[in-house]
């Protein structure tokens, strides 16, 4: 099948995957808290209702910035499956997140601005990992596209154990799970609940939610990239990792941003950077 078709399929199917994943997340979290929880399809109902609501315009630039957030997040996955260079994909992934920071920072609200500042910290903490991760994958496989890595005859994950462990830590940030959900949260016991989405409503808030669904699908694709010899095993590995994230999310409280930055950079430099350095030292 043509790589462009794969990219188009991602744009169409990724929101379905991300929405169902969010529904499972909410159901499992509810059961952990001794609640029944919402229906599995509740995230889709919520987004549909948001799209029908009247949007309160914070300023003229918030809408275009959030639309750009969704478009570039979808473009990240489309480029990934479409055969674009993996390191370039990592930079587009960071650009998509930057649009959300700019949209939240443009609001004249202390809560939204604080959330934007924390989201920028999250961006600085997590994005270097993805660049090093792609560099490690390219070094091991000798190729630089998603399809070529999947066709590589050897397993990538056993040669990148440090990157695999660091991925679990960074995924906690990108999936907005405790203790690293410093910019926004759905838990009422946190000191900053909505954070960067405080001043967003209607379709603007729907854009944020759909972009997060794309982001979850991209993280799943990254996990499949590590388990390149069998994409079903990659999906199972992502499911196990996501279950661990939900467990941690429901058993920990939010950490301070200093701890988030230090711990993530430590994992990136020691585990991920050390792994990549070892590959060059042993001549992989």
Encode pLDDT of 86-115 as tens digits. Answer: 999 999 999 999 998 888 887 777 777 777
Where residue 192 falls among pLDDT bands split at 50, 70, 90?
Answer: low
Selection from 274, 263, 280, 260 nearest residue 117 by Cα: 260
User: What does the pLDDT look like over 219-239, one tens digit per residue?
Assistant: 999 999 999 988 999 999 999
Rounded to whole angstroms, how far apart are CA atoms 265 and 258?
11
CA distances from 42 to 24, 27, 178, 216 (A): 10, 10, 22, 17
- Please give the pLDDT value at position 238: 95
Rounded to whole angstroms, how far apart are CA atoms 144 and 89?
10
User: What does the pLDDT look like over 27-73, one tens digit per residue?
Assistant: 998 888 888 888 999 999 999 998 888 777 777 888 888 899 999 99
- Please give the pLDDT value at position 61: 82
List the domain boundaries for the chain.
Answer: 3-281
* Tokens standing for residue 232: 């079903």
């Amino acid at each position: 099948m043509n790589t462009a078709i794969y990219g188009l399929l991602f744009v169409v199917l990724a929101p379905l995957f991300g929405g169902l994943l969010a529904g499972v997340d909410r159901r499992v979290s509810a059961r952990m808290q001794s609640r029944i929880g919402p229906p599995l399809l509740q995230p889709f109902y919520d987004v549909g209702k948001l799209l029908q609501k009247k949007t309160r315009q914070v300023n003229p630039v918030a809408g275009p910035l959030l639309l750009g957030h969704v478009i570039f997040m979808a473009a990240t996955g489309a480029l990934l499956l479409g055969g674009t260079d993996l390191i370039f994909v990592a930079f587009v992934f960071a650009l998509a997140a930057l649009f959300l920071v700019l949209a939240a920072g443009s609001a004249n609200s202390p809560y939204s601005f604080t959330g934007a500042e924390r989201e920028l910290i999250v961006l600085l903490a997590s994005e270097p990992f993805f660049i090093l991760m792609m560099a490690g994958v390219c070094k091991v496989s000798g190729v630089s596209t998603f399809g070529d890595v999947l066709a590589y005859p050897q397993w990538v994950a056993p040669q990148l154990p440090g990157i695999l462990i660091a991925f679990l830590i960074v995924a906690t940030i990108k999936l907005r799970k405790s203790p690293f959900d410093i910019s926004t949260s759905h838990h009422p016991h946190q000191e900053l609940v909505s954070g960067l989405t405080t001043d967003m409503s209607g379709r603007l808030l729907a854009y944020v939610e759909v972009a997060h669904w794309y982001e979850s699908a991209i993280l799943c694709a990254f996990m499949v990239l590590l388990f390149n010899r069998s994409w079903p095993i990659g999906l199972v590995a992502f499911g196990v990792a996501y279950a661990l994230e939900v467990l941690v999310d429901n058993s920990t409280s939010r950490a301070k941003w200093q701890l988030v930055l230090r711990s993530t950079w430590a994992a990136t430099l020691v585990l991920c950077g050390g792994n990549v350095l070892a590959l060059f030292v042993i001549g992989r």
